[in-house]
Structure 1
Amino acid sequence: MTQPPDTTPATGHEVIHAYLRTLDNSPGVYRMLDTQSRVLYVGKARALKKRVANYAKPMGHSPRIARMIRETATMMFLTTRTETEALLLEQNLIKQLKPRYNVLLRDDKSFPNILVTRDHAFPQIMKHRGAKTAKGDYFGPFASAGAVNRTLNQLQRVFLLRNCTDATFESRTRPCLLYQIKRCSAPCTGQISAADYAASVNDAMRFLKGDSTELQVQLATQMTQAAEAMEFERAAALRDRIRALTNVQSAQGINPRGVREADVIALHMEGGQACVQVFFIRANQNWGNKDYYPRIGPDIEPPEVLEAFLGQFYDQKDPPPQLILSHMIDNADLMIDALSQKLGRKVEILVPQRGEKAELIDGALRNARESLARRMAEGQAQTKLLEGLADAFTLEAPPQRVEVYDNSHIQGTDAVGAMIVAGPDGFLKSQYRKFNIRGTDLTPGDDFGMMKEVLTRRFQRLLKEDPDRESASWPDLLLIDGGAGQVSAVKQIMDDLGIDDIPFIGVAKGIDRDQGKEEFHRPGHRPTALQRNDPVLYFIQRLRDEAHRFAIGAHRAKRAKAVSATPLDDITGVGAARKRALLAHFGSAKAVARADLADLRAVDGVNEALAQKIYDHFHERG
């Protein structure tokens, strides 16, 4: 009997070898794909043909690389002019495609800065995150919002700078509470002159630039002069400022004298996991630290992990002039070239062996080691909780991805749906999603209708983007805030979508809405409860409370945006600065709507064309 031809796509080193005929030794980036065209690995090469030839050899590979070669069915190539361009393209593709065999930085949020505004006679000091579009001086990055808030509180205590918005500033008729507790000099009501306030701003900026010692000497001289001139009130104020400044410096901890501006980056690997600890040193001051847990393979070496981390970490961030590392990376010259181009000045990479810099690395390594140990312990506890969740509700296996849904609104207004995600690594905040409720036919406060819209949008998108469920985006369990009615509505939604293999549980408050008496509802089952001291019950409560927190936060943000909205937001060409200028000039959006062309043209930043557009916008509305 004749056997049918084998139609299984070829894979392995022989497939890779076939590409050698079409390659030269240009620099570039290559992609290795499996039989389903999923990207397995993205790499760069100084010479593409030489690099691919290494993969074409049947022997001599680590287990991870050998497994990747066996799965490779096709390859893709992009040549570049230089190897530095190849490095940058490689990191962009890794972040975009998230290949299975690459080191992947999983948490890459932007960092906050301190902004001292420059578009007001009395500058405001504030926290800023995102693009640096506002006029002013930026200081950072800080490791976290908490680090920024602590520094802002210290600056307020020492320099008495305002943190209120311009609108609040203009509307004040008497000093606020911050003035009473000596956290602000109340420029809004004329308690300080513009010249004296400007001096305080300059002193604060000097402190942020690292000139705190010189600043203290100068303040001490001024205090002595004030005392000799018998200006005792001024001398006392300067004394208080010096004391506060001393307290700030003593509370900052590590303040390296020989390192003005650098990132200290240390890697610790253990048990197939990695922790990268980053300390931010700016103006000879420690501005906080943050830990990262990149996804790595079982046989990957520290230089490769750090090189991948640096490329992805600084993809959307400006590097400092100096990077102090725990391990030297393989392609340091390329990384230096790429980061120097990004910064516009020379970037130095070093691995210190002695002195103050080595002490900084030792401290960062200790933090990385301790952070990874805590994470591994927490991961073991999380795994046990997921196993307990499976046992409590007779699931086929411990869920690897739990999605929890909740809604938030006030009598139906500014309604927002929220989804949080948890798994063996705890809360996966990068996977959280919020849903602005769009349904126009919903009755205000219709929680069933809101949940239907959220789940329909969520799973219709999953069915469209990943119908074969090949990614990790599909949940293993849904938790819904609600009882039998919510569960019934969810079952109807899932049946309509043809999804019948994802379990879901409704979490309802029990008698007297008492926490600890929750009832759990599932289709085809009677309501059940867990013992009050059951760790699984506490776990479910934490999941529900996190979803509730995220939903309320999203709702408050939406409501705040709606409160500050004006008809000017609908006019293209009128951004935040021109909106402020128009409101300051006319006093209100209604007054802008009634203004004639001549008055509109008189506003700073509004040219004749924009004035006509604003005028037409309001008059077309009738």
Structure 2
Amino acid sequence: MSGKPEIDVLPVIPPADLRPANEDVPAGAADPVPEAAPAEGSLAAGTAIIAGYVRTLPRKPGVYRMIDAKGDVLYVGKARLLKSRVASYTQPTRLSTRLMRMVSATVAMEFVVTDSEAEALLLENNLIKRFKPRFNVLLRDDKSFPYIVIRRDHAWPQLAKHRGARNETDEYFGPFASAGAVNRTLYTLQRAFPLRSCSDSIFANRTRPCLQYQIKRCVAPCVGRVTDEEYGSIVDDVRGFLGGKSREVQSQLSQRMETASANLEFERAAVLRDRIRALTAIQSHQSIEISEIEEADVFAAHEEGGQICVQVFFVRAGNNLGNKAYFPSHGKELEIADVLSSFVGQFYSGRPVPREILVSHPLPEADLLAAALSLSTGNRRIEIICPQRGPRRDLMEHALANAREALGRRVAESASQRKLLDGVAQAFGLDAPPQRIEVYDNSHIQGSDAVGGMIVAGPEGFQKNHYRKFNIRTAAAPGAAPAPDGAAPGISAGDDYGMMREVLTRRFKRALKEDPARDKGLWPDLVLIDGGLGQLNAALEVFTELAIDDVALVSIAKGPDRDAGRERFFMPGRPPFSLEARDPVLYFLQRLRDEAHRFAIGTHRTRRSMGISRSGLDEVPGIGAARKRALLHHFGSARAVATATLEDLQATPGVSRTMAKKIYDHFRSGG
């Protein structure tokens, strides 16, 4: 939104006696016999609580929240008239079974009054994203999408992938459906437009061309192999191509090639010929090209078996930039158009909105949604269209076909996953198929940069938004001095058991604190440990200390010679055992173990890489990115900074006499 709307937050007052306060009671009359209060958690109790709020609500647009006895938000809704909308919940005969359950669980409500219904809709979508109420339609994946960026904050612009906050000086093209789509596009773009892709620090320290120059993916501006004018021309070509002017760019390249050939500049003509060929290859790989559509997102919804898949396509400058399937959580009785409308509203919470939004079904209150999205973009005109014919309808049919296929695959995978979970329950003697499996593994090199990884799986497959990584806080590096007297003893280098104890202690202490009633879905039904009997005993110590006795615990150890297929399983109070070599359940458990291993190793490598790239300057108090860059540019390396004299440090641009003394003292004191 261009500015924050003026909103009024109504005070939350528990509903009192529903009799009007000014009702007169005749003198000497006997006190009326109080009616029995409805049972807490019943439909009558919820209806009475809501009715108590209705009397004080204004006839204005706004947003309301229904809250249960634990303080969790059950539902977020918006209304053109708050009083009328909330009053509709006090008529049980007109409510669906789902809404009856919601009203029964309601013990309090909160309200926000807005200036318009469009502002109420924006606020509703933001609150749904924040609270994730279980009675709303929920967009499960709210990650930002990647873009291609031309960085203009450097004399030689860089072509790169970008995700996150934007810089006003840079140019962005997208969004792309995935990081893989961006990487493939960048790879092919560099064949046609050889701009630099290296970081500023690498660029500043090059003394000769890198491999990218040798394979003709860069023109080596770092060592002066290209003029400013030639490089600027390539930047303009990239901007034009990504902006939808591919034919114009290709025509200009052809003219330049002919001119170079006529001037007998055959090497330059050959370079331009190779760029034209690469550009033609890029265009031939576009699966869909809708030249009439400048900027649009396509939302195609398909319903089957009580589930809905929403397939989203991104079309920019007449090109398809990829697609992604979503499976929103929703009530079974909701119509597909209602689910799609709520999905679209939440989808653009915090994301840029295109000029056109194409939908497969006519949306209820489509004009209101378009007005709300327009308000969020500074009153730019937004159209929501349900195409019936022409190229837009062809594109929609393609998206619907993808939605049908994606939902079919998910239904088949879900059935297979449920069968595997039944097999896990049978193999480990569980009372029911596990709904949440947590798998743990550690990774380190002789105790250094030790990390723990937790992955989560369930009926829907891997739940990557629930993955967690743990930096082992008490692990000592190889050769480190023992802890001083009175300090907490650390874990010796390579102590896998101690590391597992720390990871599980931190994980389940937090679970006990944040979800003691175990009703938020944060507790596992099964914990798998990558390891043998020693890791199992370490986990048992943690569970015993925390008084956890209702979570199944299993460790999985590789077989002789670390042979996959001969794994042994360890459980408390049960002899070690193995599964049949070709048992699908064994393959499933191996996949879980390998995913935990992959996640832990990846986290360890990231941490180790950060340690390798860290210099002694990072430890000097008061040295930020700008001063560090100035020092490295002035001296060439961190080692040269450490050995520099005080006078040399003072000569560095941006380094004051006080800061120079601090740097000098830091390296002389063994800091």
Common fold, TM-score beyond 0.5? yes
Call closer, same or farther: CA 1:193–1:620 in 2, change over 3 Å. Answer: closer
Retained in 1: the 8 A contact 2:309–2:403? yes
Partners of 1:151 and 1:414 in 2: how far apart? 35
Q: Confirm or deny that 1:425 pairs with 2:460.
A: yes
Query: Which is greater in Rg?
Result: 2
> Which residue of 1 is the match for residue 507 of structure 2?
458
Q: Confirm or deny that 1:302 pairs with 2:314.
A: no
Which of 183, 186, 195 matches 1:152?
A: 186
> Which residue of 1 is the match for residue 239 of structure 2?
205
Retained in 2: the 8 A contact 1:318–1:342? no
Deviation, structure 1 residue 614 = 6.6
Deviation, structure 1 residue 234 = 1.6
> Which residue of 1 is the match for residue 197 of structure 2?
163
Runs of 4+ off more than 4 Å: 4-7, 570-575, 590-602, 611-615
Which of 532, 535, 538 matches 1:483?
A: 532
Partners of 2:438 and 2:155 in 1: how far apart? 49
Call closer, same or farther: CA 1:365–1:573 in 2, change over 3 Å. Answer: farther
Secondary structure at the counterpart of residue 556 of structure 1: helix
Match for 2:193: what amino acid? Answer: F
Secondary structure at the counterpart of residue 22 of structure 1: coil
Deviation, structure 1 residue 120 = 3.0
Match for 1:59: what amino acid? Answer: T
Match for 2:604: what amino acid? Answer: H
> Which residue of 2 is the match for residue 586 of structure 1?
635
Retained in 2: the 8 A contact 1:303–1:327? yes
Partners of 1:67 and 1:7 in 2: how far apart? 14
Deviation, structure 1 residue 597 = 8.4
Partners of 1:192 and 1:211 in 2: how far apart? 25
Retained in 2: the 8 A contact 1:597–1:612? no
> Which residue of 2 is the match for residue 386 of structure 1?
421
Secondary structure at the counterpart of residue 384 of structure 2: strand
Partners of 2:454 and 2:592 in 1: how far apart? 11
Q: Which moved further from structure 2: 590-599 or 538-547? A: 590-599
> Which residue of 2 is the match for residue 508 of structure 1?
557
Deviation, structure 1 residue 351 = 1.4
Which of 567, 573, 582 matches 1:524?
A: 573
Q: For 1:513-571, what per-residue CA distance to the aligned partner results, in whole angstroms no more than 9, with x for missing partners? A: 10111100111111110111100000011111111111111111111222222344456
Deviation, structure 1 residue 502 = 0.2
Call closer, same or farther: CA 1:619–1:310 in 2, change over 3 Å. Answer: farther
Which of 130, 137, 142 matches 1:96?
A: 130
Deviation, structure 1 residue 58 = 2.1
CA RMSD, Structure 1 to Structure 2 (Å):
2.3
Which of 546, 549, 554 matches 2:603?
A: 554
Partners of 1:330 and 1:274 in 2: how far apart? 17
> Which residue of 2 is the match for residue 327 of structure 1?
361
Secondary structure at the counterpart of residue 574 of structure 2: coil
Secondary structure at the counterpart of residue 78 of structure 2: strand
Call closer, same or farther: CA 1:571–1:366 in 2, change over 3 Å. Answer: farther
Partners of 1:195 and 1:572 in 2: how far apart? 42
Match for 1:8: what amino acid? Answer: E
Q: Confirm or deny that 1:469 pairs with 2:526.
A: no
Sequence identity percentage: 56
Partners of 1:191 and 1:327 in 2: how far apart? 55
Q: For 1:43-66, what per-residue CA distance to the aligned partner results, in whole angstroms no more than 9, with x for missing partners? A: 111111000111111212223223
Deviation, structure 1 residue 165 = 2.4
> Which residue of 2 is the match for residue 111 of structure 1?
145
Deviation, structure 1 residue 185 = 2.4
> Which residue of 2 is the match for residue 126 of structure 1?
160
Retained in 1: the 8 A contact 2:556–2:569? yes
Call closer, same or farther: CA 1:68–1:614 in 2, change over 3 Å. Answer: farther
Map 1:238-253 → 2, pairs under 5 A: 238-253=272-287
Q: For 1:392-429, what per-residue CA distance to the aligned partner results, in whole angstroms no more than 9, with x for missing partners? A: 11111100000000111111111111100000000001
Call closer, same or farther: CA 1:552–1:135 in 2, change over 3 Å. Answer: farther
Partners of 2:603 and 2:191 in 1: how far apart? 32
Aligned residues: 615
Q: For 1:350-377, what per-residue CA distance to the aligned partner results, in whole angstroms no more than 9, with x for missing partners? A: 1111111111111111111110110011
Retained in 2: the 8 A contact 1:117–1:134? no
Deviation, structure 1 residue 31 = 1.4
Partners of 2:501 and 2:544 in 1: how far apart? 12
Call closer, same or farther: CA 1:613–1:81 in 2, change over 3 Å. Answer: farther
Partners of 2:248 and 2:626 in 1: how far apart? 37
Deviation, structure 1 residue 110 = 1.3
Match for 1:384: what amino acid? Answer: K
Which of 215, 234, 258 matches 1:224?
A: 258
Secondary structure at the counterpart of residue 12 of structure 1: helix
Partners of 1:265 and 1:570 in 2: how far apart? 50
Q: Which moved further from structure 2: 138-147 or 378-387? A: 138-147
TM-score with structure 2 setting the length: 0.87
Q: For 1:409-460, what per-residue CA distance to the aligned partner results, in whole angstroms no more than 9, with x for missing partners? A: 1111111111000000000011111111111511112111111111111100
> Which residue of 1 is the match for residue 408 of structure 2?
373
Q: Which moved further from structure 2: 323-332 or 183-192? A: 183-192
Deviation, structure 1 residue 183 = 2.2
Map 1:230-379 → 2, pairs under 5 A: 230-344=264-378, 345-379=380-414
Deviation, structure 1 residue 175 = 3.1
Partners of 1:125 and 1:508 in 2: how far apart? 46
> Which residue of 2 is the match for residue 399 of structure 1?
434
Map 1:64-103 → 2, pairs under 5 A: 64-103=98-137
> Which residue of 1 is the match for residue 491 of structure 2?
442
Secondary structure at the counterpart of residue 178 of structure 1: helix
Deviation, structure 1 residue 16 = 1.9
Map 1:7-22 → 2, pairs under 5 A: 8=40, 11-22=45-56
Secondary structure at the counterpart of residue 452 of structure 2: strand
